[in-house]
Every structure is written in structure tokens, then in C-alpha cells.
């Protein structure tokens, strides 16, 4: 297993994309670069995608983690877990779920807990929304 690599989505201020194998994990030692910063956000949405020309071959489920903004330590956040029981397969991209942010501080990150793609990497996009639903 390796760590999912997180980068800011081109053109976004806060929204991020994590890329790795469907067996990769969230790097909970990377306190300032893993996942997405929640500071000042109203909510976020999560999407998954296979590489170009590839498809999701089994239902993807994601395990959530939240980072304590004071200690920098990561903890499991099961309320934000996404269990894809619909089993949508044979497509490249899928919307997973959207969440409100009750305490807009710290970070949120995901790692796959189930699922596979036909070949290549799995992309996890966490799309940030601010007041009035604007993308950030």
C-alpha cells in the first residue's frame, strides 16, 4: 500500500483531488497536505473517477478521517463514510455524497474501503462549497 497523493484542483481555492490505487491509504502523518482544509466551509461533495479510458468495476466505498485543527492528529470520522450500496459499475465517474460542515476547521480526507477500477488510478475529488453554495 502507498499513500494517496492530494493536490488542489486546477482553478479551485480549496477543492482537492486525491490520486492513488484503490488500495492506497490516507497519509495521516501529512497533517497539512492530506485531504482538504475545512476552514470556513459550509459543505463539500465527494466524487470518484477512474483514469481516462477506464471504468469503475466494483462498487466504491470510502472511509473518512477528520483532522483535529489543534493537535494535527487524524481520527476516524464514520459520519462522513460513504458506503456505495448501489453498486454502480461500468462508468468512469460517480457522485458519492454531499455533507454539511458543522465545525468548519481542520481537514477531511478519504481512503477507499472497497472497490476497484479496470486499470490505473482511482481519483477522489472533494469539492468545497462556501456560503450561497459557491465552489471554492
Q: Count of alpha carbons within 13 Å of 117, Cβ hemisphere only?
A: 25
Percentage of the chain modeled with pLDDT above 90: 83
Q: Which residues constitute the domain of residue 19?
A: 5-133
Distances (CA, A) of 62 to 13, 22, 80, 117: 24, 10, 9, 14
Mapped onto helix, strand or coil, the DSSP state of residue 132 is helix
For the chain, the straight-line distance linking the first and the last C-alpha, in angstroms and rounded, comes to 31
Q: Could you read off the pLDDT of 34-77 as tens digits, one per residue?
A: 999 999 999 999 999 999 999 999 999 999 999 999 999 999 99
Q: Provide the whole-model pTM.
A: 0.94
Span 11-24, average pLDDT: 95
Domain count, the chain: 1
Q: Which of 59-73, 78-92, 114-128 has the lowest mean pLDDT?
A: 78-92
Amino acid at each position: 500500500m502507498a499513500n494517496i497523493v492530494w493536490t488542489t484542483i486546477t482553478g479551485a481555492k480549496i477543492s482537492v483531488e486525491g490520486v492513488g490505487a484503490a488500495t492506497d491509504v490516507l497519509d495521516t502523518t501529512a497533517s497539512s497536505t492530506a485531504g482538504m482544509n475545512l476552514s470556513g466551509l459550509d459543505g463539500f461533495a465527494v466524487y470518484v473517477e477512474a483514469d481516462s479510458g477506464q471504468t469503475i468495476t466494483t462498487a466504491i466505498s470510502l472511509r473518512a478521517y477528520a483532522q483535529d485543527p489543534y493537535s494535527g492528529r487524524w481520527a476516524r470520522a464514520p459520519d462522513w463514510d460513504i458506503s456505495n450500496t448501489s453498486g454502480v459499475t461500468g462508468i468512469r465517474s460517480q457522485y458519492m455524497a454531499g455533507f454539511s460542515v458543522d465545525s468548519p476547521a481542520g481537514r477531511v480526507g478519504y481512503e477507499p474501503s472497497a472497490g476497484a477500477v479496470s486499470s490505473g488510478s482511482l481519483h477522489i475529488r472533494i469539492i468545497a462549497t462556501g456560503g450561497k453554495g459557491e465552489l471554492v
